Amino acid sequence: MKLLKGIFVVLTLVLLLYMVWPTGPQDISDFSELPNSTTSDLPGDTWQTPNIAAYFSENYRGFVIPYYINDYKSFTNFPIDPLRLNYPPEYAFSAIKDQTHATYLEEITYPLRDSVFISGLEPFDEETKEPRYDGAHMLPFDGEKYETKTILRFYPSPLWARVGVWLGITLSFAMLWVMTKKIIFEK
């Protein structure tokens, strides 16, 4: 029993350390700009939506996602890569902003900490340059035409929320342990 309690205490302290680790991005401006891109200043791509950044470029998903995984990982100094979650592009309406047109949507996150959603609009196939959908066209911006548009939206989590979640997890496991102990050992 004492061994299990010791393991529980150690694991909860490790989880707390992970959740309050002081490094990490604080704002969307902490992330690097997409290389060889033009920053969008269209309505909704700047101050109108909090923690958002948008870029017009020729960079496709195969470059964008690994680039931002490395960028995000560089803030935390964790020995593991962040979790990469793939969503249907229709979810960009709620994850990024209303009226976001996308051909892909991914989330990069360290669970129980912050998340960054990356939405991309790629009207043409990267290899064949064939249109992906009817009405596909180059993306005009600032007198130029671009093949892709990438939008990032960062969702930071305040320290108090992370500590609250840790406390909830710890109390839940402690209560489950007490109930399990009563059921198994006190028959």
Domain positions in the chain are 26-155
Helix (H, G, I), strand (E, B) or coil at 76: helix
Compute the chain's Rg from CA coordinates.
21
Per-residue confidence of the chain (187 residues) as pLDDT tens digits?
788 888 999 999 999 999 998 888 989 999 999 999 999 999 989 888 899 999 999 999 999 999 999 999 998 888 889 999 999 999 999 999 988 899 999 999 999 999 999 999 999 999 998 999 888 999 999 999 999 999 999 999 999 999 999 999 999 999 998 898 888 877 6
> Phi and psi at residue 175, in whole multiples of 5°?
-65, -40
Task: Collect all residues with Cβ–Cβ distance below 8 Å to 94 and sequence separation of at least 6.
Answer: none
Q: Which ranges of 21-107 does DSSP label H, i.e. alpha helix?
A: 61-76, 92-95
Q: pTM, whole model, 2 decimals?
A: 0.89
Task: Collect all residues with Cβ–Cβ distance below 8 Å to 7 and sequence separation of at least 6.
Answer: none
Helices first, then strands: H and E counts in the chain:
4, 8
